[in-house]
Structure 1
């Protein structure tokens, strides 16, 4: 069941806004996975790949990001990246 609200935003545009199962984020202190119900927190990003799992058991869609922040909150996961390339 796709139940995590995920947004990826760059200074130029909203790259993606979707309901997904899980996102693996390249945090500055290591990769971390976010699913619905994750504890709130904020971290900086390192250059790397976001891995987006649309449904349980599906393979990941990857988007390369550089710089920025990730915030997990009541509304889901928001990634504010300096740049993003699918």
Structure 2
């Protein structure tokens, strides 16, 4: 079994989400991307869209409006200009 990814989603007001997850999909300015544990380091700007957090069988979705994503050996941090959880349908 693959390891877990340490993920944090932060807006100017508060930390919106933090935890160990299986995968995070995000809207980069050059296209959507997914991050798993042990991903190669990179940094990119984000466009408006939805960040999907996948952990086991559960999925949580967060709408973001701009910001940056930073992947390091420690995990993924998204610094969003605005972020809020999307209610489940």
User: Following TM superposition, where does structure 1 have runs of at least 4 consecutive aligned residues deviating by more than 4 angstroms?
Assistant: none
Could you say which residue in structure 2 is the equivalent of 1:5? Answer: 6
Could you say which residue in structure 1 is the equivalent of 2:26? Answer: 25
Question: What secondary structure sits across from 2:82 in the alignment?
Answer: strand
Name structure 2 gaps, 5 residues minimum. Answer: none
Could you say which residue in structure 1 is the equivalent of 2:35? Answer: 34
Count how many residue pairs are aligned between Structure 1 and Structure 2: 84
Could you say which residue in structure 1 is the equivalent of 2:65? Answer: 66
CA distance in 1, matches of 2:19, 2:58: 16
CA shift digits 1:18-60 (9 cap, x unpaired) = 00000001000000000001000000000000011012xx252
> Normalising to structure 2: TM-score of the pair?
0.89
After superposing the two structures, state which structure 1 stretch, 31-40 or 58-67, moved more. Answer: 58-67
Name structure 1 gaps, 5 residues minimum. Answer: none
RMSD: 1.2
